[in-house]
A and B are shown apart, each in its own frame.
Chain A
Amino acid sequence: MESINQIQDAIIEEFSFFGDWLEKYEYIIELGKDLPLIDEQYKTEDYLVRGCQSKVWLHANLEDGKVVFKADSDAVITKGIIALLIRVLSGHSPQEILDADLYFLDKIGLKEHLSPTRANGLVSMLKQMKLYALAFQKQLTGKNE
């Protein structure tokens, strides 16, 4: 399994081939359209991360010590960026997720989507992902004791 940074670097390289914003967003929109990211059962208020504009649903499981994230959004660009975030963070240990420095969004020119003023729910989603990781981390260390 690749590390979080290896995946980030791979995404940065993929995005370097795009000539302009149009190709970049076409790709993100495709990612958003293609991925059925979350089971309908989790698309409820309980799993809703409230943004001001677009809604984001997030669910996490701990499987064999790794956190598996599933998420979705009602806006397709938000959904595409979620697909990237999940590709980077899902399948890693809680500690790796807690330590992760997400530099790839800046490098591929999508940092604006993580600005709190965008109010698209992504900032809250990232925070929620780290909170899940923290909770799972406590579960794991609790078991070891």
Chain B
Amino acid sequence: MSGNLATTGVFDVEAVRKDFPILQREMNGQPLCFLDTAASSQKPLPVLQAMDNYYRQHHANVHRGVYQLSQEATDMFEAARKAVQRFIGAREEHEVIFTRGTTESINLVASSFGSAFLKPGDEVLITWMEHHSNIVPWQLICERTGATLRVVPISDEGELDMDALGQYLQGPVKILALTHVSNTLGTINPIREIVKMAHQYGIPVLVDGAQAVPHSPVNVSELDVDFYAFSGHKMYGPTGIGILFGKTAWLEKMPPYHGGGEMISRVTFEKTTYNELPFKFEAGTPDIAGSVGLHAAIEYLQGIGLNNIAEHENELLKYGTELLREIPGLRLIGNASNKAGLLSFVVEGTHPYDIGTLLDKMGIAVRTGHHCTEPIMDRFGIPGTVRASFGMYTTKAELDRLAAGIKRAVKLLL
């Protein structure tokens, strides 16, 4: 088991791999080479066991029952919240809101913040490297409120144009929403610096942290972000649960997002008063098992050490970048100087779909297409990319297989 890693401080990828049962599988007669962790990570045993144990021993609805079992489930759910709070360095427990994932977290803010604070003439600022889930919710609220959506451009290397950002921030901007790490380019944005710039104008910042949280330590208080959204399933936890961190001052000013049970204080047909934070934003029965799984994932990540993971993935990035650069005709999309563990590329004369299909036949799972970032594809004038993304369990041998696989696929295709 991986427990020894925390104590020895030595990162051993082979030991880590033993914790992930799915990595033992074969695909098309080859050992599975899973290089799509940016889309969703695999799950270690402690996460699976925690969720199984929850359903076997402790399940009941939360925050309602007077009976022992409901209290146990409630305690586990709230312990998960506390674990998230500590994990991201939030000041208050009630600043951690459980959602279904990053997408819902962003929709919550766009809808709730937007309906309270946006009016015609106002601007919402996003960037060119956003995932569709950090574009469309803002388009929807802009349509509803008459606000305007503006987009900060990126360079050919895939880095944010900081000068343009500085200029755009001088407009009538009510909120800036941007990604911490680009899921397509791998670019790591300098969030602390950007937040400082925005706060000079009193502009709150929402950060899409889906690709950041699983790969390096994140502290929302140090970053001073106003909102931070991320998903359980990308950080080795279960699907269906995510987090919205929000500063108390903002969350208190925002109206509820969904109505229902749990989020109310008192209901009459004339008037309903809302529950306090965080429950105001958590209508209905939450994903209790998901929270338990997420808690286990956090403990697992902490056991391995996020610094160890970041170091391992950086090494893979260097190694993989060199390997891929040697392949004739291959062009990496996204060459930011500060980059996370993924490689997006196209090969001259081939379509990403064809490369991905052939790699699959060799047991190598990569993502192909626009990765829900069509504006980036348009920006670079390509139909899509092949993307190989890493996790803590990715090995150099797998990147060797990737490089060999690409060469073989290209040979077949050209």
Q: Which of A52, A55, A77 contacts B357 (CB 8 A)?
A: A77
B353 interface residue (CB < 8 Å to A): yes
**A75 and B353 in contact (CB under 8 A), knowing A21-B28, A25-B412, A26-B412?**
yes
Contacts of A75 in B (CB 8 A): 351, 353-354
B384 interface residue (CB < 8 Å to A): yes
B351 and A76 contacting across the interface, CB-CB below 8 Å: yes
| A77 vs B412: C-alpha distance when bound (angstroms) | 11
A115 interface residue (CB < 8 Å to B): no
List CB contacts (< 8 Å) of B372-387 with chain A.
383-384
B361 interface residue (CB < 8 Å to A): yes
| A55 vs B354: C-alpha distance when bound (angstroms) | 12
B358 and A54 contacting across the interface, CB-CB below 8 Å: no
A53 interface residue (CB < 8 Å to B): yes
Query: How far, in Å, is B365 (CB) from chain A's closest CB?
Result: 13
Interface size class of B (residues with CB under 8 A): 10 to 19
Contacts of A22 in B (CB 8 A): 361, 412
**A29 and B28 in contact (CB under 8 A), knowing A21-B361, A52-B369?**
no
Contacts of B352 in A (CB 8 A): 53
Query: How far, in Å, is B353 (CB) from chain A's closest CB?
Result: 4
| A75 vs B413: C-alpha distance when bound (angstroms) | 10
Contacts of B353 in A (CB 8 A): 53-54, 75, 77-78, 120
Closest to B408 in A: A22
A77 and B354 contacting across the interface, CB-CB below 8 Å: yes
Closest to B369 in A: A53
List CB contacts (< 8 Å) of A3-50 with chain B.
21-22, 25-26, 29
B368 interface residue (CB < 8 Å to A): yes
B384 and A53 contacting across the interface, CB-CB below 8 Å: yes
Contacts of A62 in B (CB 8 A): none
**A76 and B369 in contact (CB under 8 A), knowing A21-B28, A29-B413?**
no
Query: How far, in Å, is A114 (CB) from chain B's closest CB?
Result: 13
Contacts of B28 in A (CB 8 A): 21
| A26 vs B357: C-alpha distance when bound (angstroms) | 12
| A53 vs B353: C-alpha distance when bound (angstroms) | 7
**Of listed B353, B357, B368, B369, residue having the most chain A CB within 10 A:** B353
A106 interface residue (CB < 8 Å to B): no
Contacts of A21 in B (CB 8 A): 28, 361
Contacts of B351 in A (CB 8 A): 54, 74-76, 78
A105 interface residue (CB < 8 Å to B): no
Query: How far, in Å, is A18 (CB) from chain B's closest CB?
Result: 13
List CB contacts (< 8 Å) of B231-246 with chain A.
none
**A25 and B358 in contact (CB under 8 A), knowing A74-B351, A75-B353, A77-B353?**
yes
Give A residues with C-beta under 8 Å from B. Answer: 21-22, 25-26, 29, 52-55, 74-78, 113, 119-120
Give B residues with C-beta under 8 Å from A. Answer: 28, 350-354, 357-358, 361, 368-370, 383-384, 412-413
